[in-house]
Amino acid sequence: MVRLKLVVVFIISLFFNIQSDTVSAQDESMIDPFREQQLSGRMIQFIDDFNRLYTSDGMRFGRAMSDFESATHVQVVGQKIRMLNNSFQSLDFRWNAFVQSEQVEIAESEELMDLMTKVQQLKQAVGDSIAAQQNKCDAVADFIEAERYLASQDTIYKELYKKARNLSLVKQLAPQLEKVKNEEKSAFEKIETSYGKSREAAQLIPQLNTRADCLEERYLALKSISGKIQAMEYKPLIERAKDYLMGLACVSVILIFFNMIVTKIKAAKKAREMLKKQKELLSRNNNNSEYPTI
């Protein structure tokens, strides 16, 4: 009987110990309200900091046509965006360090978990926006540089063409002609690279399309001169004269064909006018005629 009582007492004692440990464990897993409020305040501060970056001046690039006109303006904005990105990287580093050090306590509070999700989403949006603005700014800078570079090549290509043409007149100057061709080939490779960047910029930024069409015309003109320079070679005077006459003949044929078309159009127009006058005359005669009445 005594043994039975001892067993009962032991079981009851063990049960209360287990319950005490469970309650203690539950108490340890609950975050202190003051600590929760402290962590919440720090997270809200991170939200404010990311929002401040999101509404900064660098994020407004591209809202006005003047943003795409001046190379100096684009350079200044590009510097602002780079500084903005440096601030973002610093803030992102501090946020990641904060989450890593406080992750245990954050996981114990639904409110803190919700705030952490909001900060993560905002951080992603700010980072994507900065990257997009940087790409846009770089593209505009490339486009303006392409405009400047291709414009500077007009005079250079006129000189190259003149030099190549003069060298092609003398057979002994063929080596010098090849050097000019190689020089032109290297120059045109740079033109193609610059023009290719301008096309990519125009695809990214629709506001540049009109200027891109003008730039394409200049590029095609330079490409035409490039083809003529590369095709140049020494030819005897007789062959040059024959080529010249053949060119005149082609022009004459085109002019004859064009004149025939113009003559036919004029004849057709004159015939329509005569027909119109005849119809008007018949109509006038019919209106003036008197019909017998019964």
pLDDT in tens, 123-154: 999 999 999 999 999 999 999 999 999 999 99
Biggest CA–CA distance in the chain, Å, is: 153
- Over residues 203-233, the pLDDT tens digits come to 999 999 999 999 999 999 999 999 999 999 8
Query: 232 and 185 in contact (C-beta within 8 Å)?
Result: no
Spatial CA neighbour of 177 closest among 155, 154, 161, 158: 161
- Per-residue confidence (pLDDT) for residue 157, from 0 to 100: 96
- Over residues 41-59, the pLDDT tens digits come to 999 999 999 999 999 888 8
Taking the C-alpha atoms of 141, 142, 148 and 154 in order, what is their torsion angle to the nearest 10 degrees?
-170
Alpha-carbon distance of 70 to 74, in angstroms, equals 6
Query: 98 and 46 in contact (C-beta within 8 Å)?
Result: yes
Between vectors from CA 231 to CA 237 and to CA 246, what angle results, nearest 5°? 50
SS3 assignment, position 114: helix
- Per-residue confidence (pLDDT) for residue 276, from 0 to 100: 73
Alpha-carbon distance of 180 to 161, in angstroms, equals 9
Spatial CA neighbour of 187 closest among 212, 163, 214: 163
First-residue to last-residue Cα distance in the chain: 152
Distant-in-sequence, close-in-space partners of 115: CB < 8 Å, separation ≥ 6: 40, 43, 44, 47
Distant-in-sequence, close-in-space partners of 105: CB < 8 Å, separation ≥ 6: 31, 35, 36, 39, 112
Q: Where are the alpha helices (DSSP H) in the chain?
A: 2-29, 33-54, 71-107, 110-167, 174-204, 209-231, 237-288
Mean pLDDT of the chain: 81
Tokens 């100096």, residue located: 72
- Per-residue confidence (pLDDT) for residue 237, from 0 to 100: 56
Alpha-carbon distance of 106 to 246, in angstroms, equals 87
How sure is the predictor about 294, in pLDDT bands with cuts at 50, 70 and 90? Answer: very low
- Per-residue confidence (pLDDT) for residue 144, from 0 to 100: 95
- Over residues 243-278, the pLDDT tens digits come to 556 555 554 555 565 566 767 677 767 777 777 777
Query: 102 and 32 in contact (C-beta within 8 Å)?
Result: no
- Per-residue confidence (pLDDT) for residue 27, from 0 to 100: 42
Alpha-carbon distance of 116 to 98, in angstroms, equals 11
Alpha-carbon distance of 168 to 98, in angstroms, equals 73
Spatial CA neighbour of 156 closest among 109, 113, 188: 188
- Per-residue confidence (pLDDT) for residue 98, from 0 to 100: 95
Taking the C-alpha atoms of 108, 109, 110 and 116 in order, what is their torsion angle to the nearest 10 degrees?
-100
Task: Specify the DSSP class assigned to residue 4.
Answer: H
